[in-house]
Amino acid sequence: MKSDWTGGRYIGIHLKWDYKLRTVQLSMPGYVKKALLQFQHAIPKQPHYAPSKCTPPTYGAKQQLTRKLDTTPELSKKQVKLLQQVTGKFLYYARAVDGTMLHALNELASATHKGTQKTAIAMNHFLNYCSTHPNTVLLYRAS
């Protein structure tokens, strides 16, 4: 256990205090990069600006239809293990710094039991988003 009496770090989160402006910035530099190296995820050719794919609305539709059933093949045990590791690794980061990831992580985590190839595609999209936005900073202001 290490103690940081300057208040610059807490449970792996870097804190940058500005007492004059009454703000604090929370960040975890290098966390996403290390995680992407751990999962051997390649950098995407195009940036991804959303953690999950967007379903475009159909304006003027008389009925709102539910999603079609996923009939793609199920994930192998190795792929399920990878999915569990990705959701576990990024859940801490999302709760601490980047709340935009929480919805996508919830969708991925709920599919760990009966994941399909569509889930693997969603996980790949999520990891592409992570590599596009590796260093999120959360700012709190005193009011």
The answer, yes or no, to whether residue 29 has pLDDT greater than 90, is: yes
Residue 4 in any domain: the answer is no
Dmax of the chain from CA atoms? 61
**Beta strands in the chain, from DSSP E residues, in sequence order:** 9-10, 13-18, 23-27, 137-141
Question: Which tens digits make up the pLDDT trace of 85-100?
Answer: 999 999 999 999 999 9
Residue 42 in any domain: the answer is yes
Query: What does the pLDDT average to over 132-143?
Result: 93
CA 51 from centre of chain:
7
Q: 43 is in which domain, residue-wise?
A: 9-51+73-141
Residue 1 in any domain: the answer is no
The answer, yes or no, to whether residue 4 has pLDDT greater than 80, is: no
Total domain count, the chain: 1
Report the alpha-carbon distance of residue 27 to residue 124 in Å, rounded: 24
Q: What three-state secondary structure class fits 139?
A: strand
Residue 57 in any domain: the answer is no
